[in-house]
């Protein structure tokens, strides 16, 4: 007599709820790929140059490092795309300012140029972030363009094997998930080696595990990798 096949567990409706990543200094993972950027932040307030820029891909930890620096320096943080006159008052009050995501556009280039001048004239500090190197940014104001290219720059490179595994563990921990080490190793071996891919894979694992009411097993991880691959292929066709 043939044993009946086990019933498949129906996938449950999964709500796309936000989660809050850990952004304290002790939560930042340090490896060869980001050591230079970490050294920059650790070196505050003994910066020789009073302004610097951190360049790295999406999800590489630029915002995390900026938050660490902000807490150390008392800086305010402003998106470059929202830069306005108010930023001048902010840097005069706090003595430090972070301008994030230059690659997404600078709302007021003259204000940014003025902020950079204030770092030299009054000893204020400015930390900028971008996915694109200063020389590749679209900047209309010639003086600002040359000043950006002269800024001390540190890069966050794609993660190596060990840091990639550590990033996966952290991302899962942020979601209160604890996959077995062999699952982490499987993901790191087969996924695209980038911070952004790690975020997408962990999110897919979380959604599948919730839908199936299971832990993040190797089977769930394999399906998550396929889901991310198919999503990437679909975007490439647009």
Helix (H) / strand (E) element for 52: namely strand 51-55
The pLDDT value recorded for residue 214 is: 92
Instruction: Look up tokens 């490092």; give the residue.
Output: 65
The pLDDT value recorded for residue 188 is: 95
Half-sphere exposure of 77 (CA within 13 A, CB side): 15
172 token code pair: 């899962």
The pLDDT value recorded for residue 29 is: 76
The pLDDT value recorded for residue 1 is: 46
Domain extents for the chain?
30-155, 161-229
**Which CATH number is associated with domain 161-229?**
1.10.8.60
The pLDDT value recorded for residue 24 is: 55
Q: Which of 5, 16, 7, 57 is nearest to 33 (CA)?
A: 57
State whether CATH 2.60.40.1180 applies to domain 30-155: no
Written as tens digits, the pLDDT of the chain (238 aa) is 444 444 443 444 333 334 334 445 556 778 888 889 999 998 999 999 999 999 999 878 898 899 999 999 999 999 999 999 999 999 999 999 999 999 999 999 999 999 999 999 999 999 999 999 999 999 999 999 999 999 999 999 888 888 899 989 989 998 999 999 999 999 999 999 888 899 999 999 999 999 999 999 999 999 999 999 999 876 555 4
The pLDDT value recorded for residue 64 is: 86
51-55, strands of its sheet edge to edge: 76-79, 96-100, 125-130, 51-55, 153-155
Helix (H) / strand (E) element for 161: namely helix 161-174
Tell me the helices (H) and strands (E) count for the chain, helix number first: 9, 5
What is the distance between the alpha carbons of residues 36 and 157, in angstroms, rounded to a whole number? 10
């Amino acid at each position: 007599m043939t044993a009946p096949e086990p019933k498949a567990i129906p996938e449950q409706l999964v709500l796309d709820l936000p989660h809050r990543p850990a952004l304290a200094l002790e939560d930042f993972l340090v490896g060869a790929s980001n050591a230079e950027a970490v050294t920059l932040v650790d070196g505050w307030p003994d910066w020789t140059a009073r302004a610097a820029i951190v360049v790295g891909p999406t999800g590489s930890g630029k915002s995390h490092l900026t938050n660490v620096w902000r807490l150390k320096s008392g800086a305010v943080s402003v998106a470059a795309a929202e830069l306005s006159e108010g930023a001048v008052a902010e840097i005069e009050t706090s003595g430090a300012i972070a301008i994030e995501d230059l690659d997404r556009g600078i709302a007021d280039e003259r204000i940014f140029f003025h902020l950079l001048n204030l770092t030299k004239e009054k000893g204020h500090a400015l930390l900028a972030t971008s996915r694109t190197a200063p020389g590749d940014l679209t900047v209309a104001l010639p003086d600002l363009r040359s000043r950006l290219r002269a800024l001390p720059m540190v890069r966050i490179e794609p993660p190596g094997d060990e840091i990639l595994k550590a990033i996966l563990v952290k991302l899962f921990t942020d979601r209160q998930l604890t996959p077995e080490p062999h699952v982490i190793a499987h993901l790191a071996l087969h996924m695209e080696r980038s911070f952004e891919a790690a975020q997408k894979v962990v999110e897919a694992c979380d959604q599948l595990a919730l839908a199936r009411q299971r832990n993040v097993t190797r089977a769930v991880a394999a399906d998550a990798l396929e889901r991310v691959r198919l999503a990437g292929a679909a975007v490439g066709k647009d």
